[in-house]
Amino acid sequence: MNINLTILGQAIAFFIFVVFCMKLVWPPVIAALQERQKKIADGLAASDRAERDLELAQEKSAQELREAKQQAAGLIEQANKRAAQIVEASKGDARKEGEKLIEQAKAEIVQELNQAREALRSEIGVIAIAGAEKILETSVDASKHNEMLEKLAAEL
């Protein structure tokens, strides 16, 4: 229980230990602690950000999907319209074509009718003469009876 030099020895040891602790122990440990703290904070912030990014991406994809659907619907509608148009147009064309064909056919018919009529006209004289010859048992002089024959042919 005597107070003696030990008190000084203790004070000196204390001083040295504190300095050692201050220079070589405290800074690395506290630096590691702070760095880890920062890392954790960064990690948490990053996960927050990732969550937000995910949300945004989801929103964006939903929007794009909606837009795509709209676009597709628009395209389909357009296509339908176009198809209807084409159908309409082709219907019109077909009708026109048909009419044209019918007219052509009619014209041809008329032409052929005329031709047949002409042919008949040219041949009717001969047939009439032949018929008359049979009836009269004499030959008919075509040149003599030409006037009559022509009258006949015109009646046809």
Q: Which residues 28-87 are close enough to bind other proteins by CB under 8 A? A: 28-33, 35-36, 38-39
Point out which span in 13-21, 58-66, 80-88, 142-150 binds other proteins (CB under 8 A): 13-21
Q: Interface with other proteins includes 11 (CB under 8 A)?
A: yes
Q: What is the dihedral of CA 122, 128, 130, 133, to 10 degrees?
A: -140
Given a contact cutoff of 8 angstroms between Cβ atoms, the answer to whether 139 and 133 are in contact is yes
Mask for 103-122, x = binds other proteins (CB under 8 A):
--------------------
Give the interface segment with other proteins, choosing from 2-10, 46-54, 60-68, 106-114 (CB under 8 A): 2-10
- State the DSSP string of the chain: ----THHHHHHHHHHHHHHHIIIIIHHHHHHHHHHHHHHHHHHHHHHHHHHHHHHHHHHHHHHHHHHHHHHHHHHHHHHHHHHHHHHHHHHHHHHHHHHHHHHHHHHHHHHHHHHHHHHHHHHHHHHHHHHHHHHHSS---TTTTHHHHHHHHHH-
Binding status of residue 6 toward other proteins by CB under 8 A: yes
Does 135 bind other proteins (CB under 8 A)? Our answer is no
Q: Which is nearer to other proteins, 31 or 107 (CB)?
A: 31
Taking the least distance from each CB to other proteins, the nearer of 16 and 89 is 16
* Piece in contact with other proteins (CB under 8 A), picked from 23-31, 45-53, 58-66, 119-127: 23-31
Task: Return residues touching other proteins (CB under 8 A).
Answer: 1-11, 13-15, 17-18, 20-22, 24-33, 35-36, 38-39
